[in-house]
């Protein structure tokens, strides 16, 4: 495989209540495969890019399922290690209207979380890669996760492969151990060329607030990040306003060192599945970045892909490039 | 069981078309257990209160199902009588958009409707109770139903247990026999401490209209009711505006002898199941009333619980106190 | 059968992804029977009219399914021929929100498309008929389809049975062969008493644009059509604005030689299935036309039936006359 | 319709637990349409005969469903009356292995059971009929049912239409009122040309036991029946041995005044649905009787059709003549 | 609650593939609640006994589900503790024919497994109890589990409540830590009045083999157990021969100090769910033991209840006493 | 990819009725991906071998589904061409008991069937391959199919890659055109190293019958094939006896030039899906052949894998090597 994107991170199984049911009302739960980095990989593969997943899965039927779903999405799974242990799980109680969905994690002690850097052959997986994608979830898993993220970043640096880092700040995970997220994440960001994250993420990294009105605040934060992280070339973020579980409003923004573009806000109604929409945004952005596109079309693609993800069940966006190009924020009738 | 709420009334099975299908389009119907008083009981049990159901069910597999659903909801079912006979049924054709749902009842001749006061041990069931909850559906079933409602009320009065009475006026039932609903209901209301019903219910009870603008009319009606019913301490009602089958607007109101509070109207979109939302309102109100809360928080809790019910399938609201407390009329994103 | 409507055209099987899934996410597809003319027939039968279907189906289990669905809808199926061959199919990927549904046809070479006029006994099927309904899809299938449509029209003319012609312009079908749709359709329209189609359809038939604001343009086009087609008495059309896959806005319009009526626009939200809504409009219009109603109530019935179709899955509207009469554009609560 | 079989009797809705579940384990029940006489009609229609159903259904969505299912099966439903009232229901808890299925009836007070002879136009429905099929269930419903059965038989006699009578002895129904089944059934049997029933049914009719070994006993009973019922030409019966809920052994037998044939016993394993298999046997027998076939092929067809019914869910056998002809008691591999 | 059976042990959630699918073929898994002791409790409650569950569940939606299922089964859940933590899970890949089902456990670190004796109020839960039921799974969980089992046994001894102990030997659990199952189990068995287990379990407890033919061997082992365990009064066991995943052969055996009875072997075909059949056997046996029945009817009831469990999905047998009494090993036709 | 098996042939979509339903009883059909050669590939990939599929699929959502299912099975899909056109389909009506399943093909005019040799890059796909697998279905598709099969064989010969040829004689396909199957297949067999086929296939190829008892006949045929086809080293076949749709008996046989082994017959009951079991046999045989195993273990693996396939839905056997090794013809209880 040549010219691929390498995604490194944990793959999870999601068990979700169907049709807005409470868990107590269900005799079956929908089973879906996800994980922030895998979702980005599946999106990029669906958009036609070569994608390889680097992770470890249990040698169980659940691990088989996770591998199969990645293979179905067109992701290269030959570098996925298998070993005895448990699968990281999460349970989703689907909301509706003014009842938000809620997630219960059961991911501690998973095969991935218990892995050491030596369990992965980063060099081999990175051979020929155009990009390494990883996220802030891996270091949040604990000291072992920090070691994994650092090893991945070091290997990419050694191989001269640029890095996309998605902040994905999960307070629950960082708070579960004696962590210093700011110093860990700031260190990892030194190697990042692309950052997925907004002014609040930057504020957390740099330890200072950004004031002013919405748009000024965002540019100010972006410029501070470009100053702090010398390799950084592109920052991609969304602004989301939640009306109810079935109706959000979203705008997308791209900042480079020289330019910035923020799209108009789109009304996202009839939401089918909100999970993974941030990862779809990252995939839409990277899809254009890998093609060398400008900030406007990159922001538009990120927006379109995240909006489209809301219309499709599952953690992974499996929508193809034709649908992405045909996207219109003013709707459209049945296509025949 | 000490300090419980005793719910007395008929338990019904609902057979409903799934997914907005017409009945002719279905090869299976969803089966749900309900009944106005049982719904209130299930809601209160889900909110953490001790609840006992007093009813009679057929000694059939359908009766078993009804008992199991109440047990699952945490309701004490040891006082439910079982005997040969039929289960009260109703059939729901689920609507969508501008096609309202429609209900066909098939409840005549059920085990409960054919019961006599002697078939129930009210005294034993009321032992230690904090409240008796019943509704206007029981007396509407016919002369036998009137006798049942009167016996329940008499037993509660004898035991010194306060009564919550939900008007639940069903013209179809009252019109099916030579009834005088006004005198029957007015008589029962003499014993009520809490009333679930709005100015139209009061107008029907007192036989006079209330004029003026919406808010004045409601307070005027409440004061008239407090005058007419000496034990009455609290009147709880909702104002509902139907936009379409998936979008209603609702406000809640609490009147006491001294005070009144009406909440702002909430937009309820993405409605999953409208049935039982009135009973959920009653449960939310009683939840706070049992805690001695003020009118504002009582009205808010009633509103929140009825709005949450719209987001969950089934007749019974099974949502817990944490979700009720977290309710926000301005929505919220996925909770992790 | 006396006084029936005869529907002539192809019956198709639709395979659709359920619940807004992509095809790659499905292990089963919903199977529905449709076809423009059959949909109109099923609607009219549901509204209480005698309806006979004239078509040919494969002598396979798929053909059996199509016949059974028509029989379930109350359509007379005794004149449906059966022969070896394939069933016309189409595949629907259900959209949601800002992702429109998309259709892939696989209907080439079907039993119907391969039929010749001699394969049908038009005279026998038309005996006692009040109306022949056909659409522009049949001639669009190719030279054989043109021959079928012409034979049907000739037989109706010979039997003195008036004709309703629904333009149903499908560019994909016409573009697939060396066709001259304008001359073919103009010729067929010479025999039509009722036309389902808007100013764009008329523009295409007459080869000239209509200018001015929306309402003027529509009347101008209607008058031009009445001039061009001497038998034509009624033109029925809708104006649809797509907000997103779950929210359209629709108005209905009826033009006669003497009068015109255009309804107010209705907000159609919570859309369950948009396919077949045009055919439901035709059924609603013909329902009133067969009763000799005026333009206002004809337009209202067409609007109501098409709006109701959006709330029900499947290609065919199976809603009865009581529901049609009860329709209100301002919504309504559960009917008990 | 000319040369049709007229089926007269009640149509029921069945609600059944899927997949061997207990009722308490289900949140949905499968909905199926049946009724002994309707099942025979659906079988004959599936085998290519003209069939008309004469019954009354409620003017509700459940009545619509029943009519639609009959129409889907190819049965003429134009003579079905509709009126306000309830649908006859039954509830099936599906068994498996050594747990037999069990049925709870809820059919009392249905529209059909409450009908009077004047509610039916027997003469019109019988016009051109080749056969009237009815069963012992109608008179078992009560004095009103007896009147209905007698009126149907009288009308057939008046129209010179032969009668097939299926004993279908249901002790539960006869025991529910002060009935004399023997005299009622014996009277009806005076008009029967075809009887579906075995030596136990004859024993009950004639009030005497038949001794000897199995085959002798059956012939002896048949001869006694032929003597008692002067119009009777053919008696059809099955002998069924239940191994468990998924495995029965069945033989079929035909007796005429001159001849008798009993088939070899067939092992029926992998039973999908046992309900309606007796009606499928009647349909298979009548299919051949209407063709004037001999006792051997009539017995074989009855056997084949009842065995095939066991392999298909639902009360009605919808299998066509090609499958019936291809039946082999020694199995067969996938047909391509 | 007076005269109840107290069941003490862990409650698990099972996620299972439906319809003989592999996990990789599933997009949803069936969710069922089980656990050896809870299964016995649900069976006894279904058979009409008062049953209380003593366990701890996570304060999550999964814990809510487990509580609801126990309540639906009629089990008293008021003594169930709730705390933060994870739910014990297991995953079942359903077999068919010659592919056995396989189970993957994911129960380590559950709320129950992490509990200490002080987390339970044994004395309160045992008040008025007729029996304490526990199994060898609890001590197999680790040193903490041993402490829990010992505390339960000590509390029952102190309260004078007899104990039923089900060996339920799970090598996988015992092998996972530095355990000495023989000394732990032998110690617990000193307090047992009823033992569920066969000669192989006794062999393991006593550390010696039993020779001779099947029946002699079983009696010899029973006598040795009665000698070793002074309080022991009844030993109940099954002998199971697996033909394939859908066909087993089972006999039941009861040994007392004075007598023994072994039933004939029953062919169990059409197996729907084999999990929990051992627990159903224990429930059937205890059902009779609590009634003071003799060895023959106790063995028959144990056999019948375990065989019936095979015909019903889920871990828990929810079949009632009427069905148990009606059980026949020679099958039976539909019950009407 | 190095050391892979290259599978060349058409990939089909199967639409099947679930749960023994007739097509007229279904509102949804199960969608499964198959095709003889793809099934062998999926089996080999599930058993741990590198497998690449060479085929052409439509650039439609159905083509996406087919690709995704192959990717999920672990098959390399990078050499699959995509182009406009239709997908080959087949429709399965699932049988049960004595009603066999039946298949209706709708594969004419598919993208694959319309392909020319130049549409494939055989040389590139074969690079590093250990085996080319193809079947008699490709040449049966018509003169174009013959050209495709010949081109594949020529390319394998040129690359020095051995060939496995599965006869898969489908009379329906060969009879649909002016074909000479014997000369075409005999020509292709000249290049085959492994043949999947029995004495009847050999008889057809060599144009002569083989007499004697079953075992002699099979060896005689094998020796004749070895003489006729100089490269042939191994012949693998099954003998299947159909008891009913849920119960077959199967033995496997391997012939080499020097040795032969035929396994004992296994009773295959509780059949879940019989389609693809021949392809699973081929996969089991090739799994061992690729490992250089002897005739006995090759025959056992072929038998085990085909028997296991009967227990799993879908065309493709997705069972792994551990399950294959653990297979026992005498059954086994739940594995924990």
With a CB cutoff of 8 Å and minimum separation 6, the contacts of D212 are D220
pLDDT in tens, D168-225: 999 999 999 999 999 999 999 999 999 999 999 999 999 999 988 877 899 999 999 9
Q: Do D31 and B30 touch (CB under 8 A)?
A: no
Q: Residue B215 pLDDT more than 90?
A: no
Strands (E) across E245-277 are located at 247-256, 260-262, 266-269
Measure the CA–CA gap between E328 and E308, rounded to whole angstroms: 10
E186 at A interface, C-beta within 8 A: no
The average pLDDT across B96-113 equals 96
Measure the CA–CA gap between F64 and A48, rounded to whole angstroms: 12
Both tokens of D286, joined, read 């009548």
* Residue F19, pLDDT score: 86
Half-sphere exposure of F183 (CA within 13 A, CB side): 3
Specify whether A258 is catalytic: no
Chain D residue numbers with beta carbons less than 8 Å from the beta carbon of F173 are none
With a CB cutoff of 8 Å and minimum separation 6, the contacts of B282 are B40, B43, B133, B164, B166, B196, B236, B302
B neighbours by CB contacts (3+ pairs under 8 Å): A, C, D, E, F
* Residues E89 and E13: beta-carbon distance below 8 Å: yes
Nearest alpha-carbon partner for A145 in A104, A181, A193, A192: A181
Measure the CA–CA gap between E167 and E145, rounded to whole angstroms: 14
Measure the CA–CA gap between D301 and D319, rounded to whole angstroms: 12
Average pLDDT, chain D: 96
* Residue D212, pLDDT score: 80
**H/E segment holding residue D5:** strand D5-8
Nearest-CA residue of chain C relative to E24?
Answer: C27
* Residue C310, pLDDT score: 97
C19 at F interface, C-beta within 8 A: no
**H/E segment holding residue F238:** strand F234-244
Q: Residue C214: pLDDT band by 50, 70, 90 thresholds? A: confident
Q: Do B72 and E74 touch (CB under 8 A)?
A: no
pLDDT in tens, E34-65: 999 999 999 999 999 999 999 999 999 999 99
pLDDT in tens, D229-284: 999 999 999 999 998 888 999 999 999 999 999 999 999 998 999 999 999 999 99
Measure the CA–CA gap between D58 and B91, rounded to whole angstroms: 13
Measure the CA–CA gap between B61 and E318, rounded to whole angstroms: 11
The average pLDDT across F178-204 equals 96
* Residue B1, pLDDT score: 62
Residue D3, classed as helix, strand or coil, is coil
Q: Residue A329: pLDDT band by 50, 70, 90 thresholds? A: confident
CA angle (B177, B180, B185) in 5-degree steps: 115
* Residue B64, pLDDT score: 98
Q: Residue E323 pLDDT more than 80?
A: yes
Instruction: Say which DSSP state A94 is in.
Output: -
* Residue C330, pLDDT score: 83
Measure the CA–CA gap between D97 and E312, rounded to whole angstroms: 10
Measure the CA–CA gap between B312 and B308, rounded to whole angstroms: 7
* Residues D6 and B1: beta-carbon distance below 8 Å: no
The average pLDDT across F92-103 equals 95
If one counts every other C-beta atom within 10 angstroms of the C-beta of residue F1, the result is: 15
Measure the CA–CA gap between A198 and B269, rounded to whole angstroms: 30
Q: Please give the C-alpha separations between residue F103 and each of C57, F38, F172, F275, in angstroms, as whole numbers.
A: 18, 19, 12, 10
ipTM above 0.90?
yes
Both tokens of E245, joined, read 């995943």
Label residue A243 exposed, middle or buried (CB < 10 Å: 0-12, 13-18, 19+). Answer: middle
Q: Residue B305 pLDDT more than 80?
A: yes
E128 at D interface, C-beta within 8 A: no
Q: Residue F159: pLDDT band by 50, 70, 90 thresholds? A: very high
Bridge partners (DSSP) listed for residue F236: F196, F254
Q: Residue A149: pLDDT band by 50, 70, 90 thresholds? A: very high
Average pLDDT, chain A: 96
Nearest alpha-carbon partner for F245 in F228, F270, F264, F224: F270
Global confidence as pTM: 0.96
* Residues F317 and F42: beta-carbon distance below 8 Å: yes
* Residue D245, pLDDT score: 84
The average pLDDT across B279-295 equals 98
* Residue F213, pLDDT score: 82
* Residue C215, pLDDT score: 78
* Residues E130 and E3: beta-carbon distance below 8 Å: yes
Average pLDDT, chain F: 96
Q: Residue F1 pLDDT more than 80?
A: no
pLDDT in tens, C101-134: 999 999 999 999 999 999 999 999 999 999 999 9
* Residue C57, pLDDT score: 98
Distance from CA of B126 to the nearest CA of C (A): 33
DSSP string, A234-294: EEEEEEEEEEETTEEEEEEEEEESS-EEEPPPEEEES-S--TTHHHHHHHHHHHHHHTT--
Q: Do A269 and C246 touch (CB under 8 A)?
A: yes
Nearest-CA residue of chain D relative to A28?
Answer: D27
Chain C residue numbers with beta carbons less than 8 Å from the beta carbon of D64 are 320
Both tokens of D280, joined, read 């499928």
* Residues F78 and C108: beta-carbon distance below 8 Å: no
Chain D residue numbers with beta carbons less than 8 Å from the beta carbon of A27 are 25, 27
Q: Do A69 and F72 touch (CB under 8 A)?
A: yes
A60 at E interface, C-beta within 8 A: yes
Strands (E) across chain B are located at 5-8, 12-16, 28-34, 51-54, 56-58, 81-83, 89-93, 102-106, 131-135, 163-166, 194-196, 234-244, 247-256, 260-262, 266-269
Q: Are strands D89-93 and D102-106 parallel, antiparallel or unpaired?
A: antiparallel
The average pLDDT across F191-202 equals 96
Q: Are strands A12-16 and A88-93 parallel, antiparallel or unpaired?
A: parallel
Torsion of CA E304, E310, E312, E313, to 10 degrees: 150
Both tokens of B165, joined, read 């009475």
Measure the CA–CA gap between D221 and C164, rounded to whole angstroms: 63
pLDDT in tens, A3-44: 999 999 999 999 999 989 999 999 999 999 999 999 999 999
pLDDT in tens, B14-61: 999 998 999 999 999 999 999 999 999 999 999 999 999 999 999 999
* Residue D1, pLDDT score: 63
E15 at A interface, C-beta within 8 A: yes
The average pLDDT across A59-84 equals 98
* Residue C331, pLDDT score: 79
Measure the CA–CA gap between B164 and B166, rounded to whole angstroms: 7
The average pLDDT across E223-244 equals 96
Measure the CA–CA gap between E131 and A303, rounded to whole angstroms: 64
Q: Residue D2 pLDDT more than 80?
A: no
* Residue E329, pLDDT score: 87
Measure the CA–CA gap between C106 and C87, rounded to whole angstroms: 9
Chain F residue numbers with beta carbons less than 8 Å from the beta carbon of A73 are 68, 71
* Residue F304, pLDDT score: 98
Q: What is the largest CA-CA distance in chain E?
A: 57
Of C170, C246, C274, nearest to A334 by CB-CB distance is C274
Measure the CA–CA gap between F336 and F334, rounded to whole angstroms: 6
B258 at F interface, C-beta within 8 A: no
Chain A residue numbers with beta carbons less than 8 Å from the beta carbon of C246 are 269-270
Chain B residue numbers with beta carbons less than 8 Å from the beta carbon of C313 are 19-21, 25
* Residue E332, pLDDT score: 82
Distance from CA of A70 to the nearest CA of F (A): 7
The average pLDDT across C88-102 equals 95
Q: Residues C76, C255, C279, C315: which is the catalytic one?
A: C279
* Residue A23, pLDDT score: 98
Q: Do E31 and A30 touch (CB under 8 A)?
A: no
Both tokens of C224, joined, read 């031009």
Q: Residue F248: pLDDT band by 50, 70, 90 thresholds? A: very high
Domains and CATH numbers, chain A: 35-55+118-326 (3.40.1190.20)
pLDDT in tens, E108-119: 999 999 999 999
In percent, the amount of chain F with pLDDT more than 90 equals 93
Nearest alpha-carbon partner for B93 in A99, D55, C301, D31: D31
D74 at C interface, C-beta within 8 A: yes
E22 at F interface, C-beta within 8 A: yes
Q: Do C73 and D71 touch (CB under 8 A)?
A: yes
Q: Residue C306 pLDDT more than 70?
A: yes
């Amino acid at each position: 495989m040549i010219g691929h994107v390498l995604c490194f991170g944990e793959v999870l199984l999601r068990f979700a209540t169907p049709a807005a049911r409470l868990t107590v009302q269900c005799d079956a739960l929908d089973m879906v495969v996800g994980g922030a980095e895998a979702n980005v990989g599946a999106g990029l593969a669906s958009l036609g890019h070569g994608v390889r997943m680097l992770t470890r899965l249990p040698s169980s039927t659940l691990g088989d399922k996770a591998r199969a779903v990645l293979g179905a999405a067109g992701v290269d799974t030959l570098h996925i290690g298998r070993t005895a242990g448990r699968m990281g799980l999460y349970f989703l109680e689907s909301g509706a209207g003014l009842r938000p969905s809620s997630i219960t994690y059961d991911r501690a002690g998973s095969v991935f979380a218990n892995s050491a850097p030596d369990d992965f052959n980063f060099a081999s997986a990175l051979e020929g890669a155009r990009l390494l994608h990883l996220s802030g979830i891996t270091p949040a898993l604990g000291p072992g996760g920090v070691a994994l993220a650092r090893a991945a970043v070091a290997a990419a640096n050694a191989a001269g492969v640029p890095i996309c880092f998605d902040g994905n700040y999960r307070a629950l995970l960082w708070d579960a151990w004696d962590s210093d997220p700011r110093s860990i994440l700031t260190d990892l960001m030194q190697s990042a060329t692309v950052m997925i994250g907004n002014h609040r993420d930057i504020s957390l990294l740099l330890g200072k607030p950004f004031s002013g009105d919405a748009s000024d605040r965002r540019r100010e934060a972006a410029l501070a990040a470009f100053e702090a992280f010398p390799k950084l070339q592109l920052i991609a973020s969304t602004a989301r306003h939640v009306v109810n579980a079935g109706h959000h409003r979203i705008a997308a923004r791209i900042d480079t060192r020289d330019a910035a573009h923020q799209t108009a806000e789109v009304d996202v109604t009839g939401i089918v599945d909100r999970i993974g929409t941030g990862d779809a945004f990252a995939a839409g952005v990277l899809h254009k970045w890998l093609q060398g596109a400008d900030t406007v079309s990159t922001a538009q693609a990120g927006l379109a892909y995240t909006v489209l993800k809301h219309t499709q069940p599952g953690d992974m966006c499996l929508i193809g490039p034709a649908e992405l190009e045909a996207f219109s924020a003013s709707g459209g009738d049945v296509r025949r």
